[in-house]
Amino acid sequence: MAFNDVLESIGGVGRFQISQITFLLISVCLIGCHNFLQNFTAAVPDHHCKPLLPTNQTLPSSYTQSTAEGVLLKAPVPIDQNWKPEKCLQFAMSWRRLLSPNATVEVGDSATQVHTELCTGGWVYDVSVFESTIVTEWNLVCDLQNLRDVAQSLYMAGVLVGAGVFGVLSDRWVVVVMNVRFGRRKPLIWSYLQIAIAGTITAFLPSFSSYCAFRFLAGMTFSGIMLNSLSLILEWMPNKGRTVAGALLGYFVTFGQIVLAGVAYRVRNWRWLQLSVSAPFFIIFVCSWPLPRPAKFLPLISPPPAQVLHSYMQMEAGSLKSRRTVFDLFRSPVLRRVTCCLMVVWFSSSFSYYGLAMDVQKFGLNIFVVQVLFGAIDLPVVLLSTLAMVFIGRRLTMAGFLSLAGLLVFVNMFVPDGKLLYGFLTCICLGH
């Protein structure tokens, strides 16, 4: 008797599955916040060179300190074509000449080609949107602006490493070293603890290098939580409910984006925001201990809980004795073709989706509204894709959405800057 038949014979989906799925989906929602957290903690505010009066120069006699404050910005900082201060340049002329009543301020290219230099006294940041970000705290602008992307890349590298580490630990029931038993439950619980500790410590780190290191550790837990949550949800669901259960996982990752926007709107300091989305995992960790073990591992722990499960448990116990590795995916021609196709699909969709989703500030609108829309518009598309998978199958659904996504990516190349329509359509198609 297959385990799916056992589930159907005892009622299919009951309170046990509902309570377990609810708990796992809450943790998925919270880890979804971490996945897009740097949209807010690493936001780049408007900035310009800090106008500091050299100690060996004095203001002209016609200027008082209060009168000069309005001139200090115009004097040392060139103005760009949009009549805004240049972000990374300042005039290299003497202050007495710049503060002269007859001085003029050049605009555009002429202001940046002559008598300019890089900022030497730091930067002034606009704090009207965010009180502080990692960009303002560690001056990740101008020559150092690429370090912001480095931090995000290291987080995604952690996701990659975590998939390998937690995937292996989850699939191996017995680890020879110290005879420690893992399965999916223990790596999942460890992931909760790791993200709680790493995320909380990140909120108090004094340097950018240590920030990157702990973001890497946080990225590892994303894979540990997502992979093991999906497996635990599907293993205890009947076959006919697995498509909907898997779609719920996507819903709650999307819902996490909306929750993140709301929390970030209220908490404008990056350290407090980091702490706000990390501390709840301590509660998740404490509440995760009652999680049941995967169904196929139960015969190795205790006698069968019911006579109807006996035949299934014996079959599963026998299957666990054979060791399988990732290389088995490439031994059979059919499995090799399917595996390679899915690898290409995941790479192309993730490459495009995360390229858009992890820097919503570039859309040029209110960052909180964009983040909410990014998640809200995704919700009906998840529903549409779920219905399509149920009624026309996964293969046609995937082919249709990937083709539409590719078309929209191509069309998006010709959309003028500031137009979000095709950008959003591309995002929601690529997301799932």
pLDDT in tens, 109-161: 444 455 777 777 778 888 888 999 999 899 888 888 889 889 999 999 999 99
**How far from 122 is each of 50, 88, 90, 351, 381, CA to CA, in Å?**
5, 10, 11, 35, 45
- Report which of 267, 289, 286, 285 is spatially closest to residue 276, judged by C-alpha positions: 267
* pLDDT higher than threshold 60 for residue 60: no
Q: Name every residue whose Cβ is closer than 8 Å to that of residue 111 and which is 6 or more positions away in sequence.
A: 78, 79, 80, 86, 105
Lowest pLDDT segment from 223-237, 242-256, 306-320, 355-369: 306-320
The whole-chain average pLDDT of the chain stands at: 75
Inter-residue contact 184 to 231 (CB < 8 Å) = yes
What DSSP letter does each residue of 88-122 carry, written as one string? SEEE-S-HHHHTSTT----BTHHHHHSSEEE-SS-
What DSSP letter does each residue of 17-61 carry, written as one string? HHHHHHHHHHHHHHHHHHHTTHHHHT----EEE-----TT----T
Inter-residue contact 276 to 263 (CB < 8 Å) = yes
This prediction has a pTM of 0.78
Sign of CA dihedral 313, 318, 323, 325: negative
What percent of the chain is predicted at pLDDT more than 90?
A: 19
* pLDDT higher than threshold 50 for residue 176: no
- Report which of 319, 351, 312, 362 is spatially closest to residue 431, judged by C-alpha positions: 351
- Report which of 196, 172, 194 is spatially closest to residue 184, judged by C-alpha positions: 172
Q: What is the pLDDT of residue 198?
A: 93
The span from the CA of 370 to the CA of 367, in Å, is 5
* pLDDT higher than threshold 80 for residue 241: no
What confidence category does residue 11 fall into, taking pLDDT thresholds of 50, 70 and 90?
low
DSSP 84: S
User: If you average pLDDT over residues 194-217, what whole number do you get?
Assistant: 93
The span from the CA of 380 to the CA of 388, in Å, is 12
Q: What is the pLDDT of residue 276?
A: 93
What confidence category does residue 273 fall into, taking pLDDT thresholds of 50, 70 and 90?
very high
Inter-residue contact 119 to 49 (CB < 8 Å) = yes
Q: What is the pLDDT of residue 63?
A: 43
Residue 67 corresponds to which tokens in the numbers above?
Answer: 């009168």
Which alpha helices (H) appear in 178-332, and where do they start and end?
A: 185-202, 208-235, 242-266, 270-278, 280-287, 310-320
